[in-house]
Amino acid sequence: MNTIGHITISSLLEMAVDHHKLLDYYNNVYELITLDNEPGDIERIYSTTYGKVALGSDPTLQDFVSHIPVAPDFEYAGHFRDGLLNYIECGKTECRILPYESMVFHTHPFNSEIADIPSELDLYLFLQHPYAVECTIGRDKCWVFIKTAETLKKVEKMRKWKNKHMVNMICEMVRNNCSDDEITYSAPYLFLEKIFNIIMPNDLEKLLCYDWQNAARKKLGITILVGTLRSR
C-alpha cells in the first residue's frame, strides 16, 4: 500500500462535501433513498456482530486500509466511526454498508478475477447513498471514492431523471415480464447506462481493460484516489 500516502481520514473527509449536508440533501431533497439498514438489521442478516479495531481518533488512510480484513472468497463491509474500524463478514458477491455513515468500505474477494474493478452497482450505490467517502479493497489495488460538489451535480441529475422516467422504465420492465428480482438487479445498470452512458463490458478481457477511473471521474464527478496493496 503506498500511493495513497499518509493522508488522514479527517483530511479525506474534508475533501468531500460535509456529511451533515449530505444527510440533509439525501433526506430532504433526494428523497428517493430509504435510509434503512440500522446496525441491528445488518447484524441480524449476517448473524454476527461487528468486529472492531481501535485505530485512534484520526488514523491515516494507510493505517485504516491495512487493518481492513480481507478474504479470498467473500466480502467484508463496514465503516469508521469514533476511532473504531467496524467490520462485518458479508456474502460471496454482496455486502451491506450502512448508508448514513460518513466513511465506509467494502472488500472484494481477492481470488476474483475482477477484484480490482468496481462493479456497476458499486458506482451506482456511491451516488445513491449519502456516505462522503467510500474505500474499496481489491486484490492488488484499493481505491477511495470521494463525494464532492461535482458528484452531487450528477446525483441531482439522477434524481431528476428518476422523477421523470423511473416509473415508465419499471412499467416497461413489468410489461416485458421481468420478475421483481430482475427489476431490482437491472435497474442500477440501466440508470448508469441511460443517465450517464456508462456501459461496462460483459466480456472479461474487455472489462479488465475498461477505464473505469476515467468513467467515474468524468461521467460521475467522483474524485478517486488509488493505492496499490502489498501482494498476497
Binding interface with Zn ion (CB under 5 A):
119, 122
- Give the shortest CB-95-to-Zn ion separation in angstroms: 7
- Give the shortest CB-68-to-Zn ion separation in angstroms: 13
- Give the shortest CB-26-to-Zn ion separation in angstroms: 20
Q: What is the DSSP letter of 8?
A: B
**Of residues 119 and 148, the one with the C-beta less far from Zn ion:** 119
- Give the shortest CB-147-to-Zn ion separation in angstroms: 16
**DSSP string for 33-70:** ------HHHHHHHTTS--EEEE--SS-BHHHHHHHS--
**Of residues 134 and 169, the one with the C-beta less far from Zn ion:** 134
**Of residues 135 and 152, the one with the C-beta less far from Zn ion:** 135
CB within 8 A of 19, min separation 6: which ones?
13, 102, 130, 131, 132
CA 147 – CA 13 distance, rounded (Å): 9
- Give the shortest CB-137-to-Zn ion separation in angstroms: 9
**Residue among 148, 145, 129 nearest 137 (CA):** 145
**Of residues 116 and 122, the one with the C-beta less far from Zn ion:** 122
CA 18 – CA 146 distance, rounded (Å): 11
**Of residues 100 and 143, the one with the C-beta less far from Zn ion:** 143
Q: How many CB atoms lie within 10 A of CB 24?
A: 13
